[in-house]
Chain A
Amino acid sequence: MKNEFLKQISTYFPSVDYCSFRFVNKYTNIVSVTRNVLEPIEILEDEGVMATIIHNGGYGYGASSDLTPDGILKAIEEAKKWAEYSSGKLVHVPHPPSMRIDDGKYFTHEKDSWAKESNKDKVDYLMQINKSLKSKPTISNWGASFRYNKIETLFTDTNGSDIRQNISYILPQLVACAEYKKQIQTRTFGGHAHARQIGYNFLRDSDLITKAEQIANDAIELSMAPNCPDSKMDALIAPDQMILQIHESIGHPLELDRILGDERNYAGSSFVNLDMFGEYKYGSDKLNISFNPNQESELATYNYDDDGTAATKKYLIKDGILERPIGGFYSSQRVNQDYVACSRATSWNRPPIDRMGNINLEPGESSFSEMIASVEDGIFLETNNSWSIDDYRNKFQFGCEKGTIIKNGELKSVTKNPNYRGITKEFWHNLSMVGDETSFSILGTANCGKGEPNQTIFVGHATPPCLFREIDIFGGE
């Protein structure tokens, strides 16, 4: 059927300098059980096509869920109309690729497929997890859900390219809240961090029933714990908080479209400017950041981006030095920079823009116990629950679900409402130890927002825990 669709759509290419069609079929299934009751199961199927035309110095797109011949022709007409109108009025005239990509393919490997497991079995598993979450009377709220997304993309253009990719990912989410003296503390698993391109076996292998018990116990302990102290101290940051730190203070500021000002009305700009590439010391020598679309099972692993650019691993920061931005094929033309395959769209109804793919902090050489042992006065921070950073990606403040005080090289008592704040330019220079391969965690977040019109997209981050010296830590009221 897909072959037929590609064959059929290829007959519609108009007589223009360049035209591409990107067809997307997106399937989402969310199954949630909250306080032992099944919520309405969500099944969403989205399908449509975007025609993009570059012609005579103009650019335009037409996107439609109408996949009849008439609907596709109308989308082409809209793309042509906007390409014609924008000729001579564009901030940058894109130069399309001349290469044909033949038979480009990528498929997520699902060992056990989501579809094979019945709704009933998923609900039964979530019911068991709910029981484990509500293990104690002081648990005031609890719930668990599984989200599955499958995104099939077909891309063809006037060069004759033929790309098919099938990405699927799974995101479990567990939540437990405990109440003590009218103060609520929440512990989660999954949520912002644990989305992977993986099969249903991931949910079975993750032993979510034991995980549920752990987070319920954590929530109870936190509800009775003192507030995090206000102090300058060392911060050992767990992978499920590190991903937010990487995302907000490295990923976003390196997006080339931000640096070029496209996002200044919405998502913001960047403190990074074009002169910094190849010279700027972003962090300590231990900081190595890669754009790695080839990391197996990571959320944004693929072979081609949505403009049809082949995806390979490249360093963004090497030994602390800034090497290249996160800019796609067309963005890079605007400034004559090297590009990565990061031009991505949330679906058929939005145009590709510069997005993070997999932005990873490469592992170092320290074991977790070595890092703890090196701290005299510090805190171990786990699981993000609050994030805020300025529009130039400088002044940040992040909150975590759980803080554990470290004294004289040992983990001690638990504290609630741990927050930390800092300035990006200084923070990464305080990176003193990086966890080794054994602590390298493949994580990802499903909802990164950006762009006008707005788009959310899934991005991967793999990282070990990292130790930072002299961080401004504080607690709640």
Chain B
Amino acid sequence: MRDYFENIAQKLFKHIQKDEFLILNFDAEISNFVRLNKAKIRQPGNVKQISMSLSLSNRDKRNLKSYVRLNGSFDKDLSTLIKTLNYLRRELPDLPKDPYLLFSKSVQSTEVSDDKKYINDEENLDYILPRIASLDLVGIYSSGYIYTGLANSLGQFNWHSDYSFSFDYSIYNENNNAIKLNYSSKKWNNEEFETNLDQGIKKLKILSQSPRTIPKGEYTVYLEPSALNEIIDMMSWGGFSYKANKIGTSPLHLLSKGEKSLHASVSIDENIKGGISANFSSDGFIKPDVINMIKDGEFTESLTSPRSSLEYSVAHNASSISEYPYSIDMTAGAIDDDTILSTINNGLYISNLWYLNFSDRNNARMTGLTRFGCFVVENGQLTAPINTMRFDDSVYSMLGENLIGLTSNRELLIDSGTYEERSTSSARLPGAIVDNFKMTL
């Protein structure tokens, strides 16, 4: 796939005219998706897709971009791409100049290839299916190659390829309570999968007790990394974006202006080096390894795209146009896993939160629901599952004045999302113990 992209890019650059600048962004995926319900196969299949976007600009700072699907057949694709290039060239003169157009003009080629295939999907499924036959299991097994490339007419070439799998699943009991699990890696290991499944089965046993409906009110809660991830994800809806903070639509704009702060133990980075997404932006800029966004509870650096840098006359850090983080990394705390329940003593253990949204974006107040593996904790013991509860609370409370502490263990959560294509976002997070967590319905 790499050679195909490099060769077709070289051919296409021969069609560039004087004073034109062309950037090609390449995306391809070959994936198997096996959907499961009630421990049986629901929909299995394979998807192969290749696409390329062409961004043409001229010396007048006019720019137009087009994204096309490709066959993977060299001559046919080259003809499609030349047609697209000609269309862009025809349209350019009619468009206004773009004052915020900025592409990398210094050639920085990079290559990260980790696409060796270690697994056989049918063998893995042959192993999984008999072991889950007695369970009510639902979820998706996906695996395959993801390729991302960039080439520009100045001679820059960047390549990122990866082969991985993800088994994202839930196991249910007869009361419709469930535990959510995920086993993602590059190389399948039967023992690792068994450990993952066994941990879930053990937790499911506690869920078999009668669920309890708890009254609305304030609780001391433990948020597992996957529950905390939902809150951080909401903060990321513009929270770390330079532009959103500048225009005030960011949920963290008061934090960015220094008018609010979080607990001193909260430090959050964008850690591209420690994640799995490509280290180059679609404009051709190379991303820094780490960006410290929040340090010791204070806002330190935004994600700033090249466009924002020209609009607001600030330096950029090669962020995407959405200025959204892809590799969140939150510093660990000091609470050992085996003291979590005793620290809560009486409260709630929350494995997952679900369907979060803002109830007051200006003040970073959000709402959402408990889902999968949530328990009452009494005298330092998990005693019963809880029926679904809604929370409504502010980040400045949850990760500010009411944060008791973060765990010393962290988990790497690889996004199992598959909208358009398999996601390469990830988050490395600790768990959090929070006091006065507000349950409202």
Encode contact with A along B85-98: 1 for CB under 8 Å, 0 otherwise: 00000010011101
- Give B353 Cβ to nearest chain A Cβ, in Å: 10
| In contact, A265 and B47 (Cβ under 8 angstroms) | no
Encode contact with A along B294-322: 1 for CB under 8 Å, 0 otherwise: 00000000000000000100000000000
CA gap between A68 and B354 in the complex, in Å: 43
Asked whether any CB of chain B lies closer than 8 Å to the CB of A419, the reply is yes
Asked whether any CB of chain B lies closer than 8 Å to the CB of A233, the reply is no
| In contact, A37 and B249 (Cβ under 8 angstroms) | no
Asked whether any CB of chain B lies closer than 8 Å to the CB of A441, the reply is no
- Give B8 Cβ to nearest chain A Cβ, in Å: 14
CA gap between A453 and B420 in the complex, in Å: 9
Across the interface, which residues of A come within 8 angstroms of B360, CB to CB? 417, 475-477
Q: Which residue of B lies closest to A186 (CB)?
A: B249
**B388 partner, pick from A44, A75, A390, beta carbons under 8 A:** A390
Asked whether any CB of chain B lies closer than 8 Å to the CB of A261, the reply is yes
- Give B323 Cβ to nearest chain A Cβ, in Å: 14
Q: Which residue of A lies closest to B356 (CB)?
A: A388
Known: A40-B98, A86-B44, A264-B172. A65 touches B362 (CB 8 A): no
Across the interface, which residues of A come within 8 angstroms of B118, CB to CB? none
Q: Which residue of A lies closest to B257 (CB)?
A: A182
Asked whether any CB of chain B lies closer than 8 Å to the CB of A1, the reply is no
Encode contact with A along B349-385: 1 for CB under 8 Å, 0 otherwise: 0000011111111110101110100000000000000
Which A residues between 52 and 99 are near B, CB-CB below 8 angstroms? Answer: 59-68, 70-71, 74-75, 78-79, 81-82, 85-86, 89-92
**B91 partner, pick from A40, A46, A119, beta carbons under 8 A:** A119
Across the interface, which residues of B come within 8 angstroms of A184, CB to CB? 247-249, 253, 361-362
Encode contact with A along B206-227: 1 for CB under 8 Å, 0 otherwise: 0000000000000000000000
| In contact, A261 and B37 (Cβ under 8 angstroms) | yes
Asked whether any CB of chain B lies closer than 8 Å to the CB of A452, the reply is yes
Across the interface, which residues of A come within 8 angstroms of B335, CB to CB? none
Which A residues between 26 and 53 are near B, CB-CB below 8 angstroms? Answer: 37-38, 40-48
Known: A65-B49, A91-B37. A399 touches B357 (CB 8 A): yes
CA gap between A44 and B100 in the complex, in Å: 22
**A123 partner, pick from B51, B73, B96, B169, beta carbons under 8 A:** B96
Asked whether any CB of chain A lies closer than 8 Å to the CB of B70, the reply is yes
Interface centre among A40, A177, A395 (most CB of B within 10 A): A40
Encode contact with A along B137-172: 1 for CB under 8 Å, 0 otherwise: 011101000000000000000000000000011101
| In contact, A261 and B38 (Cβ under 8 angstroms) | yes
| In contact, B388 and A394 (Cβ under 8 angstroms) | yes
Asked whether any CB of chain B lies closer than 8 Å to the CB of A410, the reply is no
Give the interface segment out of B13-21, B59-67, B265-273, B404-412.
Answer: B59-67
Asked whether any CB of chain A lies closer than 8 Å to the CB of B48, the reply is yes
Encode contact with B along A163-178: 1 for CB under 8 Å, 0 otherwise: 0000000000000010
Which A residues between 1 and 47 are near B, CB-CB below 8 angstroms? Answer: 37-38, 40-47
CA gap between A452 and B176 in the complex, in Å: 20
| In contact, B96 and A46 (Cβ under 8 angstroms) | no
| In contact, A40 and B55 (Cβ under 8 angstroms) | yes
CA gap between A38 and B73 in the complex, in Å: 35
Known: A62-B46, A63-B46. A477 touches B365 (CB 8 A): yes
| In contact, B73 and A452 (Cβ under 8 angstroms) | no
| In contact, B388 and A391 (Cβ under 8 angstroms) | yes
| In contact, A477 and B138 (Cβ under 8 angstroms) | no
CA gap between A349 and B43 in the complex, in Å: 13
| In contact, B64 and A40 (Cβ under 8 angstroms) | yes
Across the interface, which residues of A come within 8 angstroms of B68, CB to CB? 45
Known: A123-B96, A261-B38, A476-B363. A395 touches B169 (CB 8 A): no
Across the interface, which residues of B come within 8 angstroms of A385, CB to CB? 358
Across the interface, which residues of A come within 8 angstroms of B362, CB to CB? 183-184, 476-477
Asked whether any CB of chain A lies closer than 8 Å to the CB of B426, the reply is no
**B48 partner, pick from A45, A65, A266, A475, beta carbons under 8 A:** A65
Across the interface, which residues of A come within 8 angstroms of B48, CB to CB? 63-66, 71, 74-75
Interface centre among A71, A419, A452, A455 (most CB of B within 10 A): A452
| In contact, B356 and A66 (Cβ under 8 angstroms) | no
| In contact, A182 and B71 (Cβ under 8 angstroms) | no
**A65 partner, pick from B70, B100, B249, B365, beta carbons under 8 A:** B70
| In contact, A65 and B72 (Cβ under 8 angstroms) | yes
Interface centre among B35, B180, B368 (most CB of A within 10 A): B35
Asked whether any CB of chain B lies closer than 8 Å to the CB of A351, the reply is yes
Across the interface, which residues of B come within 8 angstroms of A59, CB to CB? 43-44
Q: Which residue of B lies closest to A269 (CB)?
A: B176
CA gap between A454 and B416 in the complex, in Å: 10
Across the interface, which residues of B come within 8 angstroms of A296, CB to CB? none
Across the interface, which residues of A come within 8 angstroms of B112, CB to CB? none
| In contact, B71 and A68 (Cβ under 8 angstroms) | yes
Q: Which residue of A lies closest to B440 (CB)?
A: A421
Across the interface, which residues of B come within 8 angstroms of A38, CB to CB? 95-96, 98
Known: A141-B249, A351-B43. A48 touches B69 (CB 8 A): yes
CA gap between A453 and B422 in the complex, in Å: 9
Asked whether any CB of chain A lies closer than 8 Å to the CB of B129, the reply is yes
Across the interface, which residues of B come within 8 angstroms of A449, CB to CB? 419
CA gap between A173 and B42 in the complex, in Å: 38
CA gap between A353 and B176 in the complex, in Å: 23
Which B residues between 14 and 44 are near A, CB-CB below 8 angstroms? Answer: 31, 33-38, 40-44
CA gap between A8 and B168 in the complex, in Å: 39
Asked whether any CB of chain A lies closer than 8 Å to the CB of B390, the reply is yes
CA gap between A418 and B168 in the complex, in Å: 37
| In contact, A40 and B65 (Cβ under 8 angstroms) | yes
Interface centre among A42, A43, A86, A392 (most CB of B within 10 A): A43
Which A residues between 429 and 454 are near B, CB-CB below 8 angstroms? Answer: 449, 452-454
- Give B282 Cβ to nearest chain A Cβ, in Å: 10
| In contact, B357 and A386 (Cβ under 8 angstroms) | yes
Q: Which residue of A lies closest to B247 (CB)?
A: A141
Q: Which residue of B lies closest to A264 (CB)?
A: B138
Across the interface, which residues of A come within 8 angstroms of B71, CB to CB? 65-68, 71
CA gap between A74 and B73 in the complex, in Å: 13
Known: A65-B50, A141-B249, A265-B168. A120 touches B94 (CB 8 A): yes
Asked whether any CB of chain A lies closer than 8 Å to the CB of B288, the reply is no
- Give B212 Cβ to nearest chain A Cβ, in Å: 16
Encode contact with B along A182-197: 1 for CB under 8 Å, 0 otherwise: 1110100000000000
Q: Which residue of A lies closest to B57 (CB)?
A: A40
- Give A49 Cβ to nearest chain B Cβ, in Å: 11
Across the interface, which residues of A come within 8 angstroms of B201, CB to CB? none
- Give B133 Cβ to nearest chain A Cβ, in Å: 10
CA gap between A455 and B328 in the complex, in Å: 24
| In contact, A46 and B37 (Cβ under 8 angstroms) | no
Asked whether any CB of chain A lies closer than 8 Å to the CB of B134, the reply is no
| In contact, B139 and A265 (Cβ under 8 angstroms) | yes
Across the interface, which residues of A come within 8 angstroms of B76, CB to CB? 68
**A264 partner, pick from B95, B96, B170, B392, beta carbons under 8 A:** B170
6 smallest A-B Cβ distances: which pairs?
A476-B360, A61-B45, A453-B418, A78-B46, A452-B140, A91-B40
Pairs across A and B, CB under 8 Å, 15 listed: A40-B65, A42-B67, A45-B66, A64-B47, A65-B69, A68-B71, A79-B46, A141-B248, A186-B249, A268-B354, A386-B367, A388-B356, A390-B354, A476-B363, A477-B394
Known interface pairs A61-B44, A265-B140, A397-B357; 12 further A-B residue pairs with C-beta atoms within 8 A, sorted by A's residue number: A44-B66, A45-B66, A68-B76, A81-B46, A89-B40, A120-B94, A140-B248, A266-B140, A350-B47, A453-B35, A454-B417, A477-B365
Which residues of B are in contact with A by a Cβ distance under 8 Å?
31, 33-38, 40-51, 55, 63-73, 76, 91, 94-96, 98-101, 122, 125, 129, 138-140, 142, 168-170, 172, 176, 178, 180, 247-249, 253-254, 257, 259, 311, 354-363, 365, 367-369, 371, 388, 390, 392, 394, 417-419, 440-441
Which residues of A are in contact with B by a Cβ distance under 8 Å?
37-38, 40-48, 59-68, 70-71, 74-75, 78-79, 81-82, 85-86, 89-92, 118-120, 123, 140-141, 177, 179, 182-184, 186, 260-262, 264-266, 268-269, 349-351, 353, 385-392, 394-395, 397, 399, 417, 419, 421, 423, 449, 452-456, 475-477
